[in-house]
């Protein structure tokens, strides 16, 4: 009996240790402008997502994970996930990378001395041949097999404006969305509307089942500010019908 109890406790402890949650955040630049299409990478899991047009992102992770933020033209940034980040968003500011100054070719002036000018203006034949061989090599197309991914190597899929990667399937179901809404809005939001705590989840599902549009939310497992405002509006519009007798619902 003691061994069985120990095994159950160990299993619960292992699940808690390895449990993952959604990590939310927003990325801006030095001008405080939202940054879309920033690649966010969880170093531990190698999961990658892109920020949406408002600079928001959502990625699986847990306390102790390291997130990397990458965008062309900006310095790469890393951030360690803390326990506080699980319940509150991570705010990241990306700095512009140092601009490369184009190389300026300084040409030597003609001196009038044939011996000197012939050396300055006409490079040695070995140099000329090397440049010619390099130009010929660079003009050849590479074998596609050279650039092909190795077995087990991550290959980033090509997407069009979609901030998440992976197969096209629903990331959430209604239960996931219900838990997310209750967690983000908090029980006090519903209690202020005279919804008892035991009825909160039932009320949320009632709103979802009575016409709340959530196709993209379930598909991508992401709820933005506009979606939250739509849900709040639906709550205010339908709370009266929810409180009405069952026969009138």
- 3-state per-residue secondary structure call for 180-206: HHHHHHCHHHHHCCCCCHHHHHHHHHH
Number of domains in the chain: 2
**Residue 62 within a domain:** yes
Q: What is the average pLDDT across 182-211?
A: 92
Q: What is the average pLDDT across 175-197?
A: 92
CATH, residue 10: 2.60.40.10
pLDDT-based confidence at residue 150 (cuts at 50, 70, 90): low
Instruction: Tell which residue, 235, 229, 226, 231, has the closest CA to residue 177.
Output: 231
17-31, 143-157, 183-197: range with lowest mean pLDDT: 143-157
In which domain, by residue range, is 49 found? 2-94
End of a domain among 94, 128, 148? 94
**Predicted confidence (pLDDT) per residue in 32-86, tens digit:** 999 999 999 999 999 999 999 999 998 988 888 999 999 999 999 999 988 887 7
Alpha helices of the chain — where are they, by DSSP H? 2-18, 83-87, 114-121, 125-139, 144-147, 174-185, 187-191, 200-209, 215-220, 225-243
pTM assigned to the model: 0.36
Higher local confidence (pLDDT), 109 or 22? 22
**Residue 133 within a domain:** no
End of a domain among 41, 73, 94? 94
**Residue 234 within a domain:** yes
Helix orientation angle between 174-185 and 225-243, rounded to the nearest 10 degrees:
100
**Residue 239 within a domain:** yes
Mean pLDDT over each residue of the chain, to the nearest integer = 77
**Residue 42 within a domain:** yes
End of a domain among 59, 94, 129? 94
Instruction: Tell which residue, 61, 59, 80, has the closest CA to residue 19.
Output: 61
**Residue 220 within a domain:** yes
**Residue 147 within a domain:** no
**Residue 13 within a domain:** yes
| 1 pLDDT more than 70 | no
| 212 pLDDT more than 70 | yes
Burial grade of 126 (CB within 10 A; 0-12, 13-18, 19 or more): exposed
What 3-state class would DSSP assign to 4? helix
């Amino acid at each position: 009996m003691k061994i069985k109890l120990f095994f159950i406790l160990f299993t619960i402890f292992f699940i808690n240790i390895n449990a993952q949650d959604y990590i939310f955040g927003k990325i801006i630049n030095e001008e405080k402008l939202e940054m879309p299409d920033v690649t966010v990478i969880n170093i531990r899991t190698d999961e990658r997502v892109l920020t949406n047009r408002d600079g928001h992102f959502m990625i699986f992770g847990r306390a102790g994970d390291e997130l990397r933020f990458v965008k062309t033209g900006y310095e790469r940034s890393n951030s360690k996930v803390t326990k506080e980040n699980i319940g509150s968003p991570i705010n990241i500011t990306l700095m512009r990378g140092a601009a490369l100054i184009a190389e300026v070719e300084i040409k030597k002036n003609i001196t009038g001395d044939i011996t000197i000018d012939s050396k300055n203006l006409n490079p040695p034949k070995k140099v000329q041949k090397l440049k010619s061989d390099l130009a010929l090599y660079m003009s050849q197309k590479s074998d596609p097999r050279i650039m092909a991914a190795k077995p087990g190597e991550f290959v980033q899929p090509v997407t069009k404006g979609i901030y998440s990667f992976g197969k096209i399937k629903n990331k959430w179901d209604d239960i996931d969305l219900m838990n997310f809404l209750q967690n983000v809005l908090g029980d006090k939001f519903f209690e202020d509307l005279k919804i008892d705590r035991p009825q909160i989840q039932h009320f949320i599902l009632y709103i979802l089942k009575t016409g709340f549009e959530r196709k993209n939310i379930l598909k991508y497992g992401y709820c933005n500010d506009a979606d939250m405002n739509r849900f709040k509006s639906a709550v205010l519009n339908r709370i009266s019908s929810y409180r009405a007798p069952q026969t009138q619902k």
